Amino acid sequence: MTKHVLVLGGDGIGPEVTAAAEAVLRTLDERHGLAIAFEHALVGGACFDATGQFITDDTMRRAKAADAVLFGSEGGPKWDSLELTGPPEARSGLTRLRRELELFANLRPIRPFDAMLSHSTLKPEVVKGVDFIIVRELCSGIYFGEPRGIERKSDGLLHGFDTQDYSEPEIERIAHAAFALARSRRKKLTSVDKANVMESGILWRRTVTRIGERHYPEVRLDHLYVDNAAMQIIRDPRQFDVIVTDNLFGDILSDGSAMITGSLGMLPSAALGAPREDGRRPGLYEPVHGSAPDIAGKGLANPLGAILSAALLLTHGLGRPDLAGLVEKAVGRALDDGVCTPDLGGRAGTSQVTAAVIEALGQI
């Protein structure tokens, strides 16, 4: 049966890196008969310039119908400085996709490749063997809470305000996703919150603890405050297996963790919803990085975060973890051969790195 993959390249280096990921998927499709039908549409600033919206209703419909969405990145100085109002879904195609497809579970794996250990900003002996996954809640929290706004209040002063708000069921569903993942790995879950200061953190901690005690007694659960968690990730990242945290803390901790791998350009992600009645699981796959305006259009973007996101798409969207394993091996081979972009200290461009991965795929 045909599998529909909607490719949304977006802005800046987004289209450059999704083209690389698509090329890898096409190679596997030819070889393994995956019957992928690729579709393309605009998103982000590119879409805003063409239509006045960051994503169109038609593209939303196609995203909902697709087996998987392959996303690049959106945004850039031209659009970030627009003074837009309304909920985040009206101001960002990516946020609307996450919210309307209910992609609440964002998996962000942190696993450095051996060839890049010496390129990490941390010592090689600290990062060798690191293998953890940040499970970031993606549909709620301070990104979406109401009220929010910029208003002159009764004190006569202009206030900018946001609301951190988590319902109990929202915490329960991300806790289940994280515990189930930990159970399939090294059975260790670290929940990260700010329960010493925030009410939402108190409910978060209480709920995660209850879900663990009732449903996942075999998983060891620890709690960390987010400030300590940020330090622990830098001090000894090998101590972690699965980290579950809220929308904002997960965003920040993942960019920081990227340097374990040597570059933000290396990190992939999968944003997953609950399985549908027909067993399919909605999913959007994208590198963790943004549109990198400083290097866009130069052919220098590291495509590996996007290519590794295609590997997550193979696992979670197309049910082919075996092929995902091949992609990861091929990336390792390309790096072993010293083919990498300048962010990793190399001299290769996006297309050379992509070609090296595709060539390595043919040799595995």
112 token code pair: 């450095």
With H, G, I as helix, E, B as strand and everything else as coil, classify residue 327: helix
Beta carbon nearer to Mn ion, 137 or 251: 251
Distance of CA 211 to the CA centre of its chain: 24
**57 an active-site residue?**
no
Under rule CB under 6 A, how many of the chain's residues touch ligand NAD? 23
Our finding on whether 106 is near ligand NAD (CB under 6 A) is no
Of residues 288 and 306, the one with the C-beta less far from ligand IPM = 288
Q: Which of 30, 58, 80, 236 binds ligand NAD (CB under 6 A)?
A: 80
The reply to whether 354 sits near ligand NAD by the rule CB under 6 A is no
* Residue in 6, 24, 46, 94 binding ligand NAD, rule: CB under 6 A: 94
Selected binder of ligand NAD within 67, 117, 286, 327 (CB under 6 A): 286
Q: Determine the Cα–Cα distance for residues 330 and 70; give it in Å rounded to an integer.
A: 20
295 appears as a binding residue in the annotation = yes
Q: Does 241 bind ligand NAD (CB under 6 A)?
A: no
> In the bound complex, which residue of the shown chain has the CB atom lying closest to ligand IPM?
251
343 touches, from Mn ion, ligand NAD, ligand IPM, none (C-beta below 5 to 8 Å by class): ligand NAD
Question: Partners of 193 in the beta sheet?
Answer: 225
What is the torsional sign of CA 253, 347, 327, 39?
positive
CB of 3 to ligand IPM, least distance (A): 24
**Contact stretch for ligand NAD (CB under 6 A) within 56-64, 127-135, 187-195, 289-297:** 289-297
> What span, in angstroms and rounded, lies between the C-alpha atoms of 245 and 137?
6
- Report, in angstroms and rounded to the nearest whole number, the Rg of the chain calculated over CA atoms: 20
Residues 6+ apart with CB under 8 A from 316: 68, 270, 272, 281, 283, 285
Which residue, 171 or 264, is less far from ligand NAD as judged by CB? 264
52: left (phi over 0), alpha (psi -120 to 50) or beta: left
- x/- binding map, residues 224-253, to Mn ion, per CB under 5 A? ---------------------------x--
Cα pseudo-dihedral 172, 176, 179, 182, rounded to 10: -140
* CB atoms near residue 177 (< 10 Å): 20
Listed ranges 139-147, 271-279, 285-293, 330-338: which one lies at the site for ligand NAD (CB under 6 A):
285-293
Q: CA-to-CA distance for 135 and 127, rounded, in angstroms?
A: 20
How far is Cα 311 from Cα 326, in angstroms, rounded to an integer? 9
The answer to the question of residue 305 lying near ligand NAD (CB under 6 A) is yes
134 interface partner picked from Mn ion, ligand NAD, ligand IPM, none, CB below 5 to 8 A per type: none
Q: Which of 3, 67, 143, 241 is catalytic?
A: 143
Name 286's Cβ contacts closer than 8 Å, sequence gap at least 6. 70, 71, 72, 73, 94, 268, 269, 271, 306, 309
> Which stretches of the chain bind ligand IPM, using CB under 6 A?
75, 92, 94-95, 251, 288, 290
Report the candidate in 300, 252, 285, 289 with the shortest Cα–Cα distance to residue 267. Answer: 289
Rounded to a whole number of angstroms, the minimum distance from the CB of residue 133 to ligand IPM is 15
Q: Is 73 in the site for ligand NAD (CB under 6 A)?
A: yes
Q: Rounded to whole angstroms, what are the CA distances from 126 to 55, 132, 192, 237, 255?
A: 42, 14, 21, 7, 18
- List residues binding ligand NAD (CB under 6 A): 13, 17, 73-76, 80, 94, 264-265, 286, 289-295, 301-302, 305, 341, 343
Catalytic positions, please? Answer: 143, 194, 227, 251, 255
* Binding-site annotation, residues: 76-89, 98, 108, 136, 227, 251, 255, 290-302
* Binding-site annotation, residues for Mg(2+): 227, 251, 255
